[in-house]
């Protein structure tokens, strides 16, 4: 119901509505006559009846994002995600310092993404847009804006390292495994053990660092991923997504190596703790990996995360079902796996085309 009243020499119209159990108001002042104020109120009432009424948040875009993050995300996401949201807020403050949320259009947002893409990769641009879109959809649902200005956004970005540089070819992978296995376990570094574990499981660094001895099933040759390790705060935390909680089958010889490791370091809480209180840092395992790759004269020098890509790429190249590979990697959905390994799937498809044509020619 609308409320019309005079304030000084002008008229003000106030339209209220009940939303999510709370009384909200949309107010406009400065009307020269009561009739013009009533006309605006009538039009606003129609918008309300048609569910088209947009409430003025009274906040800038960055301030609204900050309040949304604090209310809905801060206490429900991990530290890595928290750092991302804080970074996004900082970037929004730099680019939309005084811009009201309800004034942002798809054109404004696309122009920002185009500018942001000049100094960031496509994947980073997409990630930025995805997290802002979560807020935007909530703002639409709550009636603060009418349309999702992130809808249909187009993504570009700086060139990144070619896909074929992210993983080892089969020969180098085999040589790396042989080189690490040639070192006696009693003399082998924990970083080397994590390198083997990454090639066996395709797990992320934080997942492998967080493995404790109760995560190892010696009889079934399974490593259970149920948590991860935050190397900065030195605390256990949840996995990246709910799908990241998984059981990964590994080879029996590798399980036997882990058993031998446990005998050598019985007091370590972590499988890859050794004589230290905590597992190796990501920096430490990356340094060891570079040394190992240099020792075997590898064609490529990749990061520890590249071992995850090596694991998945090798399985796909051997014809392992993409759905199983996705589950093994703990991806949130198969679309992520498909987009990450598109180049390999295309090669596999070309091989299947040649095979199909060869079979058809024999008919």
What pTM was estimated for this model as a whole? 0.65
d(CA 179, CA 182): 5
Question: For residue 317, what pLDDT is reported?
Answer: 84
Strands (DSSP E) found in 161-306: 216-217, 222-225, 228-230, 235-237, 246-249
Among all chains, which residue has been given the structure tokens 């054109």?
Answer: 107
d(CA 293, CA 225): 27
Residue 63: strand, helix, or coil: helix
- Starting at the edge strand that comes first in sequence, how are the strands of the sheet with 10-19 ordered? 2-7, 10-19, 22-31
Residue 49 CB coordination number (10 Å): 10
Which of 1.10.20.10, 3.40.228.10, 1.10.150.130, 3.10.450.50 would CATH assign to domain 61-141? 1.10.150.130
| 213 contacts 223 by C-beta, under 8 angstroms | no
Cα maximum dimension of the chain: 93
Digit-by-digit pLDDT tens for the chain (363 residues) are 677 888 788 888 877 666 556 666 667 778 888 888 888 788 777 766 766 555 555 689 999 999 999 999 988 887 778 899 999 999 999 999 999 998 999 999 999 999 999 999 888 999 999 999 999 999 888 778 888 999 999 999 987 655 445 889 889 999 999 999 999 999 999 999 999 999 999 999 999 999 999 999 999 999 999 999 999 889 999 888 888 999 999 999 999 999 999 999 999 999 999 999 999 999 999 999 999 999 999 998 999 999 999 999 899 888 888 999 999 999 988 888 887 787 665 667 777 788 788 878 887
The CA angle 158-161-164, to the nearest 5 degrees, is 140
The CA angle 160-166-170, to the nearest 5 degrees, is 155
Question: For residue 245, what pLDDT is reported?
Answer: 95
Paired with 6 in beta bridges are 11
In the structure encoding, which two tokens stand for residue 137, read together? Answer: 């959809």
d(CA 99, CA 80): 28
d(CA 275, CA 190): 9
Residue 22 host element (H or E): strand 22-31
Among 350, 341, 346, 347, residue whose Cα is nearest residue 202? 341
Among all chains, which residue has been given the structure tokens 């009274």?
Answer: 58
CATH of span 164-348: 1.10.443.10
Question: For residue 43, what pLDDT is reported?
Answer: 79
d(CA 211, CA 209): 6
d(CA 26, CA 43): 12
Residue 4 host element (H or E): strand 2-7
Residue 205 host element (H or E): helix 205-209
Among all chains, which residue has been given the structure tokens 């609308």?
Answer: 2
In the structure encoding, which two tokens stand for residue 17, read together? Answer: 């509505």
Residue 14 host element (H or E): strand 10-19
- Residue 114 burial (C-beta neighbours within 10 Å; 0-12, 13-18, 19+): middle
Question: For residue 164, what pLDDT is reported?
Answer: 47
């Amino acid at each position: 119901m609308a409320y019309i009243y005079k304030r000084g020499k002008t008229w003000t119209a106030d339209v209220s509505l009940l939303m999510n159990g709370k009384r909200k108001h949309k107010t406009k002042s400065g009307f020269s006559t009561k009739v013009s104020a009533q006309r605006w109120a009538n039009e606003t009432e129609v918008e309300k009846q048609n569910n088209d009424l947009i409430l003025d948040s009274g906040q800038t875009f960055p301030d609204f994002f900050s309040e949304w993050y604090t209310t809905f995300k801060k206490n429900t996401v991990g530290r890595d995600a928290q750092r991302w949201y804080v970074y996004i807020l900082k970037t929004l403050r730099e680019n939309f310092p005084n811009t009201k949320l309800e004034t942002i259009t798809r054109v404004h947002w696309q122009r920002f993404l185009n500018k942001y893409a000049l100094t960031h990769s496509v994947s980073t641009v997409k990630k930025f847009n995805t997290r802002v879109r979560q807020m935007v959809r909530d703002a639409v649902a709550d009636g603060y804006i009418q349309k999702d200005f992130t809808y249909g956004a187009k993504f570009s970005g700086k060139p990144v390292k070619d896909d074929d540089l992210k993983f080892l070819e089969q020969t180098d992978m085999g040589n790396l495994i042989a080189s690490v296995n040639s070192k006696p376990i009693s003399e082998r570094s924990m970083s080397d053990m994590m390198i083997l574990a990454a090639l066996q499981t395709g797990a992320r660094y934080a997942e492998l660092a967080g493995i404790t001895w109760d995560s190892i099933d010696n009889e079934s040759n399974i490593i259970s991923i149920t948590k991860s390790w935050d190397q900065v705060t030195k605390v256990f935390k949840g996995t990246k997504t709910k799908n990241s909680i998984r059981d990964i089958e590994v080879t029996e010889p590798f399980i036997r190596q882990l058993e031998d490791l446990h005998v050598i370091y019985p007091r370590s809480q972590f499988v890859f703790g050794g004589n230290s209180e905590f597992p190796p840092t990501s920096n430490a395992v990356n340094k060891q990996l570079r040394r190992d790759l240099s020792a075997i004269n590898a064609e490529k020098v990749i990061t520890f995360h590249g071992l995850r890509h090596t694991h998945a790429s090798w399985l796909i190249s051997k014809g392992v079902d993409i759905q199983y590979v996705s589950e093994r990697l703990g991806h949130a959905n198969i679309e992520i796996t498909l987009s990450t390994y598109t180049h390999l799937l295309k090669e596999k498809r070309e091989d299947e085309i040649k095979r199909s044509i060869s079979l058809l020619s024999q008919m």
